[in-house]
Amino acid sequence: MSILKAPEDKKGGGDSDSDSDDSSRDLRSVLVTSVLNLEPLDEDLFRGRHYWVPTTQRLFGGQIVGQALVAAAKSVSEDVNVHSLHCYFVRAGDPKVPVLYQVERTRTGASFSVRSVKAVQHGKPIFIFQASFQKVQPSPVQHQFSMPTVPPPEELLDHEALIGPYLRDPNLQEKYRVGLNRITAQEVPIEIKIVSPLTLGQLQRMEPKQMFWVRVRGYIGEGDIKMHCCVAAYISDYAFLGTALLPHQWKYKVHFMASLDHSMWFHAPFRADQWMLYEFESHWAGGSRGLVHGRLWRQDGVLAASCAQEGVIRVKPRVSNSKL
């Protein structure tokens, strides 16, 4: 089932959907039908609701990007797929009210089509978005960088396993215990396995780089590439901007951090319900801003997508050298 079409009644059996793992909660019950399944209000006008709200109490940027891409994809033909998107976050999203998505069919060409989307709350735009779609066009001109050599996800611990030893430490300060418990309690609809978990001795030597394996919880299936691209757009904003803060976090704490703009380029077909390596690096930070680039690799080494984001980063000096 595609998120770009009306949901179907799955009762009475089925084919590949029978492989879904009920214990992990079928993804369609969490991400596709809840977050990325928009309510049509009129032609090219949709309403989106919320599922997961970060501790900042602002809407998760990946949700807005993913929903906007769903809205844009509903207005193009089935024989084209998104190859790039570019967007600006212009106001903080209010998690207490739905978001309206207004689609403009900017151009429909023989090979490429462009769609513009404006996300609105309280009568004002909170987000502006453009996506370009292309018909499949094979080319002999091909190259890509090599995927980093890292341990496979099966050999790495998930968030709960990494945090567990800290929570069991009787000497852990209460303020850290509260924060870690808050992290484990969040019902984020994606799974993450960090490639090189941070240790206390690395705090003052961190580079602005990080990598983790990521996939959505549950099962999507083959589907169409539009569905997986919309899910990847949701995933793409998770833990992105914080990469720029890694070399400085031992000295400063975040006072305010928010995305300003976000771009993605899609290179090869992939499945968002299978492990992908998400690689981040920040080449520059300054002027209360940070710039981060990301690459999403399929487990077979194919570069699936590239991302870039700039955001506001305002910090305050840490007044204590306390450590976990």
Tell me the C-alpha distance between 118 and 125, whole Å: 6
Q: What angle do CA 132, 135, 139 make, to 5 degrees?
A: 105
Tell me the C-alpha distance between 203 and 247, whole Å: 8
Q: Which residues are catalytic?
A: 237, 259, 309
List of residues 6+ apart from 49 with CB closer than 8 A: 34, 35, 39, 98, 99
